[in-house]
Amino acid sequence: MALDSLKTDGFKQIGTRPNRPDGLDKVTGRALYGADVTAPGMLWGVIVRSPHAHAKIVKIDTSKAEAMDGVKAVVTRADFSDAIQPAAGPRGEMWNVLENVMAGDKALYDGHAVAAVAATSQLAARDAAKAIVVEYEVLPHVTDVDKAMAADAPVIREGATEKSVPEGMHPNVVRYHESGHGDLEAGFAEADLVIEDTFKTEATHQGYIEPHACLGTLGGDGKGELWCCTQGHWNVQKVCAALLGLETSQLRVTASEIGGGFGGKTAVFIEPVALALSRKANKPVKIVMNRADVFRATGPTASTSMDIKIGMKKDGTITAASGLFRCQGGAFPGAPMEFTAMCAFAPYNLQAVKQTGFDVMTNRPKQAAYRAPGSPMAAFAVESVIDQLCNQLGLDPIDTRLKNASREGTQASFGPKWDRIGLVETLEAAKAHPHYSEPLKEGQGRGVSCGFWFNHGGETAVSLALSEDGTVQLAVGTPDIGGSRASMAMMAAEELGIPYENVRCTIADTATLGYNEISHGSRVTYASGLATIKAARDAVKKLCARAAAKWGIEEDAVKWEDGCAVPSGPNAGDHEPLPLAKITAKMGATGGPIVGHFEATPEGAGVSFATHIVDAEVDKETGKTTISRYTVVQDAGKAIHPTYVEGQFQGGAAQGIGWALNEEYIYGEDGRLQNAGFLDYRIPVASDLPMIDAVIVEVPNPGHPYGVRGVGETSICPPLAAIANAVSAAAGVRLKQLPMSPPRILAALGTHD
């Protein structure tokens, strides 16, 4: 899209802060989430899960369960498609999903599904699940990323390794990435100071408050209906159809309201199981996961082990940088090691850089995307080393980052030349923010970090239908995960020149629109927003055509202004402006319904950068950290609804605080998850946090008509590093492992063994 077609000011709706259209539903309890619907004759499904980290499934005896009162169906792997075969690389991904949804020959992690049962009540189904007897032959397991790469590690699965992996590596290393440019050796030789260090992060869970839930019905005729909480119902449709051997279009999927996802609801877990049970029982089946199973069997992000080496001159110029990123993503390929590697040095304009990534399998649940997958961990490692360099060379952390910052036209660490980007603007805004110059109190430390995320476009279809009364029914296909209905309605109203309240935005089911990619990659306001604007422009064109026909002039002699068709100039004749509602009132007789469409794969998602400032205090007796002040500065391109943009900034920072300080998957020697609940996996609560200041920077994205950049993910990229830098300053010792829990801080201080 040409830059001159960008509209960045003169808006009536964009940049205002109206109430969200689904607000009343959500404050009264009326909104229907995944677990909130029932169907006549409905059964409840419960999934039986492996208690072992790695075990051969010798035998599953379902006879006792099947004989119990109220039990209507039991399924195992035999009830899913046998047409899906394992393979290395992307061709094998559907098999990976199937294997994760229901184990085949082996249970690969604690919590892996091995069977499921449907009964007339949830209690009856739970009792029956306990009566299913699974005989296991326990195998050696490994859950740590470094140990899984060692020569003596048990092999999770032979044949999963891609060709790109260098010879001689353990078969658990399944994918490899390498990128960069320049002469590293010469770069490091030029440096006045080179720091090389190793960092580790633990797996964390997205921690959405709504457990996965679905209600499915599937008949012997291969036709099905599915209701579920998901970030992408077309993907659910595609995966379920494949796993059950159905024709895709015969399964209609409706996305419920979604109680948080953060990437974790981009994957499919229970939906095919509910459909398989339904097909067998010939009744609708509802499955709602419990929290322990959510922790054990869905979502976590990769854990990492990272080696970073950066060279710097006395004046702050970075001369070379390299990173090695080992990411474990559970018992399947897919840990986001290429994103980790590619994001690591993205904020910096480097003459010599190299990043290497390893995707490592372990006996843990299949990792799922979590908000900018890979980037937060990479930033933690890289920005910690930059902080060390600044400290040792006596340099200001923001000035040093500004000196090396990526700008329009510089070459990205992972290859391409940057388009228009806003990193420098976030750094300058952070430097000018009162937070940065506020004197620190005794015992406090201040940390700064930058963060980067690519953002994404993806397949998108939108339909905008006009009603006779001039109101608008906008159908989008991206689940509204945090207020996007408001942004969509604002963009439609802006284009059409009508009040915001006149637009009703609905999340359409899979039968209503063409394929819409998942709500991921911070793509919704960008891609569905762009599609909404284009669909509105399509409707406007059709409205103008109706006016032209009425006035007996050429279509291009009519233009759209303030919600009315008007003659485009004096030559078009003298006609009264024709408001939208007057055209739609007569549309049945003037050519039929007016509907605007847009279907495409927008590819201009502008990248997004952020700079965070955080003050932390460390209690040296207990090791407890308190975040005393937090400021997020991020480039939103153009904030459609600034309040919800701030909300994304604040939410990402809060999740980052949890990740940095408390959250981690803790596995015992037996390979079992020891903290599968919110009591022991402690996400931040209200009394843990300060207010989080959110500063919106707007450097327009040339790839969106209004300049929008996605904002959802970048906000979690800087916090781990910014907090580590603040805590290290406050504690007087460098913290290199997350989370920086009290025992780890005490160990680093040497006051605790």
Partner 1 sequence: MSKVHVTTHINGDEVDFLCDPRETVLDVLRDRLGMTGAKEGCGTGDCGACSVTVDGRLVCSCLMLGVEAAGKEITTVEGIATEAELHPLQQKFIEYAALQCGICTPGILVAAKNLLERNPDPTESEVRYWLAGNLCRCTGYDKIIRAVMDTAADMREAS
Please report, as ranges, the residues that interact with partner 1 according to CB under 8 A.
17, 19-20, 22-33, 35-36, 38, 121-123, 206-211, 257-262, 288, 290-291, 481-483, 643-644, 646-648, 650-651, 653-655, 677-679, 683-689, 691-692, 694
Q: How many CB atoms lie within 10 A of CB 91?
A: 10
CB of 481 to partner 1, least distance (A): 6
Instruction: Output 596 or 684, the one with its CB closest to partner 1.
Output: 684
Using the CB atoms, write b or e for 380-396: b if 16+ within 10 Å: bbbbbbbbbbbeeeebe
Question: What is the DSSP-derived secondary structure letter of residue 348?
Answer: B
How near is the Cβ of 618 to partner 1 at its closest, in Å?
A: 20
Q: Which is nearer to partner 1, 24 or 186 (CB)?
A: 24
Distance CA 664, CA 679 (A): 12
In three-state secondary structure terms, 712 is coil
Which CB atom, from 207 or from 477, has the smaller least distance to partner 1?
207
The label of the residue with tokens 């360099």 reads 389
Q: How far is the CB of 683 from partner 1 (least distance, A)?
A: 6
The amino acid sitting at 153 is A
Shortest distance in whole angstroms from residue 26 CB to partner 1: 3
- Residue 299 Cβ, how far from partner 1 at the closest point, in Å? 12
Both tokens of 15, joined, read: 């940049």
Cα–Cα distance, 165 to 154 (Å, whole number): 18
Please state the closest distance from residue 642 (CB atom) to partner 1, in A: 10
| Least Å from the CB of residue 51 to partner 1 | 19
What is the closest distance, in whole angstroms, from the C-beta atom of residue 30 to partner 1 in the complex?
Answer: 8
CA distance 65 to 129: 7
Q: Is the CB of 438 or the CB of 688 nearer to partner 1?
A: 688
Helical ranges in 252-299 per DSSP H: 271-281, 291-297
Map residue 409 onto helix, strand or coil.
coil
Whole-angstrom Cα distance, residue 141 to residue 52? 9
282 vs 643 by CB, closer to partner 1: 643
Residues of the chain by 3-state class (helix, strand, coil), percent to 5: 30, 25, 45
Least CB distance to partner 1 at residue 517 (A): 20
Residue 503: strand pairing partners:
472
Q: Which helix (H) or strand (E) holds 528?
A: none
- What lies within 8 Å, CB to CB, of 649 at 6+ separation is 610, 632, 634, 692, 694, 696, 711, 715
Closer by beta carbon to partner 1, 305 or else 522: 522
* Residue 688: strand, helix, or coil: helix
Q: Which is nearer to partner 1, 300 or 703 (CB)?
A: 300
Nearer to partner 1, 22 or 79 (CB): 22
Looking at the Cβ atoms of 121 and 622, the one nearer to partner 1 is: 121
461: tokens are 């279809």
Q: Write down the least CB distance from residue 222 to partner 1, Å.
A: 30
Q: Which is nearer to partner 1, 83 or 691 (CB)?
A: 691
CB of 692 to partner 1, least distance (A): 5
Taking CA atoms, 615 is separated from 184, 408, 446, 729, 731, in Å, by 34, 31, 4, 10, 12
CA 86 to chain centroid, in Å, comes to 26
b/e map 148-176, b = 16+ CB within 10 Å: bbeeebeebbeebbeeebeeeebebbbbb
CB of 27 or CB of 151, closer to partner 1: 27
